[in-house]
């Protein structure tokens, strides 16, 4: 008889490409995962994985069987939800991925409060600017900036009208002056973000006639968005970041918005999960909680300070 736990370990081993990675995810030994897959192979009388000392890959039989195994687990999960509904106390493991700056400085208290309201829930957070693969990585939910056009997963809007903002510290502006046009950015020290080896040194600004692209330069590069923000706070240069990442710094006067009348690039925020069959009560309630937080934040008075009011207008500029 096929064991459900063996099916689950087969699916995760296929997704992660390793018995060791699958074992770490569920706090087992690699040998226990390997034994579970071997039991499943004996039941099916086929070899699901081609194994070597350095790699693990699905055989053709394994590739054909994988979608059926996923369907079985999805059906069982749907049946459990139908029996128990959303009113039960949330429990189990919920794994959330988010960009570094957003995760640490905005989402962390929200997610901590959500877990506090559901004490039986185990929350595992991954704050990194590496873009998580919601199909292969151990992630239930990914919070992402940017348009999400892949129909193979769910992408629910949190802040669909969010935009970037040009910001610098008062100290930097006192030493170097303010740019009066976007073209002036080319002569300033700009703080550059990099991802997968690519440096984003072409800053885009939407205009009625299309997009204005400004080539910027600077001596400070990082693949961590929080580091770029910290450099801006330290007076090292101008940053071009999501308004959500710098909102509190602007409100507190630590950063100032530059060129507030110039519309900036959109950075909509989305809540992404792999498939509707994985839209569990915990995932659904987390989305509702984060959406409510975002709506509450938007509804807050914008004119906290002159700088905060200018930055708020940047976020509201139409594309």
Q: Report all structural domains of the chain as residue ranges with CATH numbers, in order of start.
A: 4-84 (1.10.10.10), 92-162+268-299 (3.40.190.10), 164-266+303-316 (3.40.190.10)
DSSP state of 142: E
Structure tokens that stand for 281 in this block: 């009560």
Which residues sit opposite 49 in a β-bridge? 58
The pTM (predicted TM-score) of the whole model is 0.66
How confident is the model at residue 134, as a pLDDT? 66
Torsion of CA 251, 255, 256, 258, to 10 degrees: -130
Which residues sit opposite 94 in a β-bridge? 123
How confident is the model at residue 180, as a pLDDT? 94
Cα separation of 124 and 304, whole Å?
35
Which residues sit opposite 92 in a β-bridge? 121
Cα separation of 218 and 188, whole Å?
8
Cα–Cα–Cα angle for 188, 306, 270, rounded to 5 degrees: 75
Cα–Cα–Cα angle for 147, 137, 193, rounded to 5 degrees: 50
How confident is the model at residue 1, as a pLDDT? 85
Structure tokens that stand for 290 in this block: 């984060």
| Closest by CA position to 291, among listed 276, 277, 312, 270 | 270
Q: How many other β-carbons are positioned within 10 Å of the β-carbon of residue 68?
A: 9
Structure tokens that stand for 203 in this block: 């800053």
Cα separation of 131 and 97, whole Å?
9
Cα separation of 14 and 57, whole Å?
7
**CB contact set of 271 (below 8 Å; sequence gap of 6+):** 141, 143, 155, 156, 157, 158, 287, 290, 291
How confident is the model at residue 115, as a pLDDT? 94
Cα separation of 16 and 13, whole Å?
5
Cα separation of 159 and 101, whole Å?
16
How confident is the model at residue 278, as a pLDDT? 61
Per-position pLDDT tens, the chain of length 319: 889 899 989 988 888 888 988 888 788 899 999 999 999 999 999 999 998 877 889 999 999 998 888 888 877 876 766 665 555 678 888 999 999 899 999 999 999 999 999 999 999 999 988 776 666 677 889 998 887 666 556 788 999 889 999 999 999 999 999 999 999 999 999 999 988 778 999 999 988 777 789 999 999 999 999 999 999 999 999 999 999 999 999 999 999 999 999 999 999 999 988 765 566 888 889 999 999 998 888 776 543 434 444 444 444 443 3
């Amino acid at each position: 008889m096929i064991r459900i736990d063996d099916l689950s370990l087969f699916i995760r081993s296929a997704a992660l490409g390793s018995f060791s990675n699958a074992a770490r995810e569920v706090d087992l030994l690699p040998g226990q995962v390997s034994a579970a897959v071997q039991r499943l192979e004996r039941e099916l009388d086929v070899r699901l994985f081609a194994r070597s000392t350095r790699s693990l890959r699905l055989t053709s039989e394994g590739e054909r069987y994988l979608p059926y195994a996923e369907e079985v687990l999805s059906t069982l999960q749907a049946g459990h939800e139908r029996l128990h509904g959303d009113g039960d106390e949330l429990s189990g493991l919920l794994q959330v991925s988010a960009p570094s700056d957003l995760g640490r400085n905005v989402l962390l208290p929200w997610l901590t409060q959500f877990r506090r309201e559901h004490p039986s829930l185990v929350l595992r957070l991954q704050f990194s600017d590496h873009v998580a693969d919601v199909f292969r990585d151990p992630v239930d939910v990914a919070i992402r900036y940017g348009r999400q056009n892949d129909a193979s997963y769910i992408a629910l809007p949190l802040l669909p009208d969010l935009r970037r903002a040009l910001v610098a510290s008062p100290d930097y502006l006192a030493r170097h002056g303010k740019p009066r046009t976007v073209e002036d950015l080319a002569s300033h020290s700009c703080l550059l973000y990099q991802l997968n080896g690519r440096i984003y040194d072409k800053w885009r600004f939407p205009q009625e006639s299309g997009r204005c692209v400004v080539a910027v330069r600077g001596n400070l590069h990082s693949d961590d968005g929080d580091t770029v923000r910290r450099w801006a706070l330290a007076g090292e240069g101008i940053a071009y970041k999501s308004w959500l990442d710098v909102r509190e710094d602007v409100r507190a006067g630590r950063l100032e918005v530059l060129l507030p009348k110039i519309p900036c690039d959109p950075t909509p925020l989305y809540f992404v999960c792999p498939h509707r069959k994985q839209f569990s009560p915990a995932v659904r309630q987390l989305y509702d909680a984060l959406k409510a937080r975002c709506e509450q934040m938007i509804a807050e008075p914008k004119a906290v300070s002159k700088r905060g009011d200018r930055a708020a207008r940047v976020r509201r500029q139409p594309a």
